[in-house]
Structure 1
Amino acid sequence: MRHFLATLVLALFALNAHAGLSKWVDADGKVHYSDTPPPDVAAQTVRDIAGKGTADAPASSVSKTYIEREAEWKKARQQKDDAAKKQAEQDKQAEAKKNNCAAARENARILEDSPRISTYDANGDRTIMDDASRTQNLENARKAIRENCN
């Protein structure tokens, strides 16, 4: 029974711990802090532990539910995956463009430097490239260089 009464008395004293903190300035200009300001002074409430008289917290400070956090995480993950796919595709296109540039330059070099160029047809027969087809192939190679080599 004594323990019950002691606990009850301590619980009643603990209620005072929820008192707010007020700030006021006296006539001499000194700043005072107390839980009970004098009645003739306009005091400013600095902290209200009990939460009485305070406005509700804004919606942005309210913690989100597990489902909302999970949805945000999935959305962020999807955006990250999409960005990674887009970057991989851009890298793949850049590599293909680089390879096309190298091949076009090599083709143009061969067409410009070699006196005679032989090609093979579908049957495997060897033929010598004439000047008209050589000029056309050189023009195509230069066009490929302009398109792929920046």
Structure 2
Amino acid sequence: MRRINLFVISLLVALPAGAQIYQWRDAEGRVHYSDTPPAGENATTLRSAVTPTVQPGKDAATGTGAGGSAEAAKPETLAERDLAFRQRRAEAAEAAAKAEQERQQSAQRQRDCEQARNQLVALESGQRLARFNRDGEREALGDEGRADEIARTQKFVESACR
């Protein structure tokens, strides 16, 4: 029962939204608004019962595109609308993929920056460090090698951590 009442109320509320609205002035100069035109008065229609819809890129008065050709005035077919929808959907998917790729690249840059900063802190701490040479053997990093590594890491931090 409640659903029926709610349905009827929503229909009654929606009825005035589709009605025409008229405006006129009476003999005393007061402005009146009504959904019915007055008898013998010159009334202006403020809103029609059916409002015309204008497609994007078309003129409201003629329904034609910027060129004003009769070809543009023809309504789009279902296939044309479907093609336009698919193109918009593909563009949106492409934009989303690009945004996701940029987000991943930004996250990777942040990880690289954090790792380089940690490496720089370790290099500047003075603790003994070792690295593996080309033969896979471990060799201690001397003072000269540490200074070179600090300079290289600082350059990387300056360029990657902007």
Work out whether the TM-score is over 0.5.
yes
Partner of 2:78: 66
Which residue of 147, 151, 155 corresponds with 1:135? 147
How far does residue 89 in structure 1 lie from its aligned partner after superposition?
Answer: 1.1
The equivalent residue for 1:7 is: none
Pair 1:88 & 2:100 matched: yes
Aligned-partner residue type, residue 105 of structure 2: Q
Separation (CA, whole Å) in 1 of partners of 2:38 and 2:129: 100
3-state SS in 1 of match to 2:112 = helix
- Structure 1 residue 115: Cα displacement: 3.2
> Can you give the 5+ residue segments of structure 1 that lack an aligned partner in the other structure?
1-24, 35-42, 48-55
Aligned to 1:77: 89
The size of the alignment, in residue pairs, is: 111
2:139 partner letter: T
Q: CA deviation at 1:132?
A: 1.9
Say if 2:127 is the partner of 1:122.
no
- Structure having the larger proportion of residues in helix: 1
* Identity among equivalent pairs (%): 21
Structure 2: unaligned runs, 5 residues or longer: 1-24, 30-36, 49-60, 66-72
TM-score by length of 1: 0.58
Render the CA deviation track for 1:56-81: whole Å, top value 9, x for unaligned: 96247864210111111011111101
RMSD of the TM alignment (CA)?
A: 3.5
